[in-house]
Amino acid sequence: MASGKQILLSLLSEYSQKKTTKQQLEKVTNRIKSGLLLHGSTAKFMWPTVEELTWVEQRPDIEQGDDEVKKQGLGLKDSELLLSDLFGLITESEEIPENIKEIYPEITNEAYKAGTHIIWSLLKALEWSKTYEDVENSGKLDVSEKERFLKNYERKLVEYRNDPEDYS
């Protein structure tokens, strides 16, 4: 039996690694909304919550006559603001919010910045980007290359821990 989490992750993996055609945007949006409901529960508040979302297309250079889609990802329906951009704006201030300080006084500014940056990175990973289109190869992953990269970066991580100033 598939879990809601598995379904949602498979959808996000699929759509974040290949461009969705204009004709498929509504279908993709509805599939992701359904995946979110399956994962996040079908509590009454979730239905209107997912209805605020859409699979957004961004064309940042349209004013210069370039109509090419540069990014696609989960965003807010009415503004077409990507969730990663929304989160970036929310965390623009590097100050730890008071409610977090009260509950977790041991969190340092460095740890807070690290945590929010990783959340932003995870949100960005759920988007399709023209920039990475060739590398992502429509989601086809060479497993041996993946393992080679992971092994190399696990080694680099050890080197970094041993000498944070000279680890390359």
CB atoms within 10 A of CB 65: 6
pLDDT at residue 12, as a whole number: 97
SS3 128: strand
Consecutive H or E run containing 144 = helix 143-162
Residue 75, class by beta-carbon neighbours within 10 Å (0-12 exposed, 13-18 middle, 19+ buried)? Answer: buried
Nearest Cα neighbor of 136 from 32, 5, 19, 9 is 19
pLDDT at residue 41, as a whole number: 77
pLDDT at residue 62, as a whole number: 66
pLDDT at residue 1, as a whole number: 86
pLDDT at residue 94, as a whole number: 81
SS3 71: strand
Consecutive H or E run containing 56 = strand 53-58
Q: pLDDT 10s per residue in the chain (168 long)?
A: 899 999 999 999 999 999 999 999 999 999 999 999 999 877 889 999 999 999 999 987 667 777 889 999 999 999 999 999 999 999 998 899 999 999 999 999 999 999 999 999 999 999 999 999 988 988 899 999 999 999 999 999 999 999 999 877
The tens digit of pLDDT for each residue in 78-110 reads 999 999 999 999 999 889 999 999 999 999 999
Tokens of 84: 């990663």
